[in-house]
């Protein structure tokens, strides 16, 4: 049984998404000590930005593939293999410029060039995915920026609706409150949000492992 974890925060130190993803991972591991954990860090090892176009061209080139196209297709295969091999997946990310992280987008775009991840294939059916997102501001219902988080809905669309996974979203909000004087009065809410995120992350990690243990 295995868990695959991908991180995309551009911060290694002080990253809230990494800390919350750690909580999912640790709880999965505690409940499932023999389980294997594989990881990919898209901040330290980004997918090359030209791999996507090369992989698509390679899909149409047949035997006439260039070395760059073949290399891109091989990388797409490797990315797809990592997800297919895991029963549970943890995706750690951050809200950047009201959208999805560039590194995560490049990874997903390349992944979707693998034939197993083509539209309609739903290769993550039966797998559990924890989508962990850290946001500097607040985006709750009724707040001024309600609807401005364009990362979470898209990621849910891809992993749940397109790829078929059973998805749990764990969000920590207002992470900039502690370092932004204008947000000082929001610090208690930020702490509440992070505590709730860790709590849900722990429950999610245990639930993923328990489900797997029960199914073997």
Ligand X SMILES: Cc1cc2nc3c(=O)[nH]c(=O)nc-3n(C[C@H](O)[C@H](O)[C@H](O)COP(=O)(O)O)c2cc1C
Taking contact as CB under 6 A, which single stretch among the options 11-19, 44-52, 64-72, 119-127 is the one that binds ligand X?
Answer: 11-19
Q: What is the largest CA-CA distance in the chain?
A: 62
Among 5, 18, 32, 127, binds ligand X (CB under 6 A): 18
Secondary structure of residue 85 in the 3-state scheme: helix
Q: Is 9 in the site for ligand X (CB under 6 A)?
A: yes
Q: Which is nearer to ligand X, 18 or 105 (CB)?
A: 18
Q: Which of residues 81-140 bind ligand X (CB under 6 A)?
A: 94-98, 134-137
Q: Which is nearer to ligand X, 123 or 137 (CB)?
A: 137
How many residues bind to ligand X according to rule CB under 6 A?
A: 17
Q: Which is nearer to ligand X, 114 or 173 (CB)?
A: 173
Q: Is 16 in the site for ligand X (CB under 6 A)?
A: yes
Q: Which is nearer to ligand X, 16 or 51 (CB)?
A: 16
> 46-49 — which CB contacts under 8 Å span 24+ positions?
46/103, 46/106, 47/75, 47/79, 47/103, 47/106, 47/107, 47/110, 48/72, 48/75, 48/106, 49/106
At closest approach, how far in Å is the CB of 188 from ligand X? 17
> What residues line the site for ligand X (CB under 6 A)?
9, 11, 15-18, 94-98, 134-137, 175-176
């Amino acid at each position: 049984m295995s868990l695959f974890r991908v991180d995309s925060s551009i911060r290694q130190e002080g990253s809230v998404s990494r800390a919350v993803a750690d909580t999912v991972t640790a709880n999965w591991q505690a409940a499932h000590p023999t389980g294997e954990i594989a990881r990919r860090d898209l901040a330290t090892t980004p997918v090359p930005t030209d791999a996507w176009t090369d992989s698509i061209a390679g899909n149409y080139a047949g035997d006439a593939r260039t070395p760059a196209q073949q290399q891109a297709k091989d990388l797409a295969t490797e990315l797809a293999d990592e997800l297919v091999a895991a029963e549970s997946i943890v995706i750690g990310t951050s809200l950047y410029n009201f959208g999805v992280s560039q590194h995560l987008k490049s990874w997903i775009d390349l992944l979707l060039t693998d034939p197993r991840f083509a539209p309609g294939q739903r290769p993550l059916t039966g797998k559990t995915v924890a989508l962990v997102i850290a946001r500097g501001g607040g985006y709750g219902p009724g707040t001024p920026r309600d609807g401005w988080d364009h990362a979470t809905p898209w990621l849910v669309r891809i992993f749940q609706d397109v790829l078929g996974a059973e998805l749990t979203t764990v969000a920590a909000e207002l992470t900039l409150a502690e370092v932004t004087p204008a947000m000082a009065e929001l610090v208690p809410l930020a702490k509440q949000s992070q505590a709730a995120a860790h709590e849900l992350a722990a429950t999610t990690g245990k639930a993923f492992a328990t489900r797997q243990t029960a199914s073997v």
